[in-house]
Structure 1
Amino acid sequence: MLVATAAGWRAWLAEHHATSPGVWVVRWKPSSGRPALGYEPLVEELLAVGWIDATQRTVDDERTEIWCTRRRPGSGWSRLTKERLARVEASGRMTDAGRAVIAAARADGTWEMYDDAEAGVVAADLADALAADPAAASGWDAFTPGVRRAQLRWLAEARRPATRAARVGRIVAAAAEGRAAH
């Protein structure tokens, strides 16, 4: 589906967000010279109805497409997404469907899932494991903030204690080798 304006995208979402499993949104690249809906307006309209963007890929020299779908229960909420949601709410574009998805995330804990990771807070289990391995601690310290954040987010996504322990082990082993585990 080719989307050129926020109003057109909003209208499509209003009609289909409750029934569609998702849609590939095609956008003109700025270099094409054609009217193009920017990324921020596209995503803000998604968030207003409880949807999210996912995979983006090139269609051809003039177009890209983004898979847009309902947000899965249990998925974490980034700081940037929360900032976008605040703008959507302040502008009066938030829908009841979007608010329901946020309420569910607050109830199940996924609203805060990434907060510590995005703040660079290293959980005690990982900190202890890194401290026990000087090579891993050195490797961890050499990672860029973005790599550390990605590792911490991956760790935060572990649902079972065994999975979390395994991820701590993988992060430490990989850091000792100077590479990211995930």
Structure 2
Amino acid sequence: MLEIPELYFKNDTEFKNWLHNNHSDYKGIHLIFYSVAHENESMRWEEAVRVALCYGWIDSTVKSLGDGKRKQYFCPRKPKSVWSKVNKNHIKDLKSNGLMHEAGLASIKIAKENG
């Protein structure tokens, strides 16, 4: 069984840099998040989702690890997956600000072709 890497980023810039270099090399990762009250600095979930969308990735299942720590699965979006209204709004904003990577734009094109 293939192990899913667990990655921790203090902020969305670190995650963006990682995705920029690795988005096409992984089938999925677990991102580690810490609560706001935790001593470890951590990017927020919404920041991670917005960065992931730029590269055609999306969030999925989350698991508590206790003590204000959790891991959440992120992976490339499947061609026929459903887009939430929230994510559609994020995409609109990301596109208008020129933040979308070609991989993210390709996932939008595929989604439109699949209805």
TM-score, normalised relative to structure 1 = 0.58
Hey, what does 1:24 align to over in structure 2?
Answer: 30
Does 98-107 or 83-92 show the bigger shift? 83-92
Hey, what does 2:63 align to over in structure 1?
Answer: 57
Distance 2:93 2:43 in 1: 17
Matched, 1:8 2:14: yes
**Secondary structure of 2:52's aligned partner:** helix
- Unmatched 5+ residue regions in structure 2? 1-6
Whether contact under 8 Å (2:29, 2:75) holds in the other structure is yes
More helix by share: 1
Distance 2:79 2:64 in 1: 28
Number of residue pairs matched? 109
Distance 2:97 2:84 in 1: 20
- Alignment map for 1:89-104 (pairs within 5 Å): 89-104=95-110
TM-score, normalised relative to structure 2 = 0.90
- Unmatched 5+ residue regions in structure 1? 110-182
Instruction: Write out per-residue CA displacement over residues 110-138 of structure 1, whole angstroms, 9 at most, x where no aligned residue.
Output: xxxxxxxxxxxxxxxxxxxxxxxxxxxxx
Q: CA deviation at 1:4?
A: 1.2
Letter in 2 for 1:91: N
Distance 1:41 1:102 in 2: 19
Q: Out of 44, 48, 51, which is 1:42 matched to?
A: 48
Distance 1:87 1:64 in 2: 28
Displacement over 2 Å in runs of 4+: none
RMSD, aligned CA = 1.0
More strand by share: 2
Distance 1:92 1:33 in 2: 34
**Secondary structure of 2:67's aligned partner:** coil
Distance 1:59 1:49 in 2: 27
Distance 1:28 1:49 in 2: 23
Whether contact under 8 Å (2:33, 2:45) holds in the other structure is no
Hey, what does 1:160 align to over in structure 2?
Answer: none
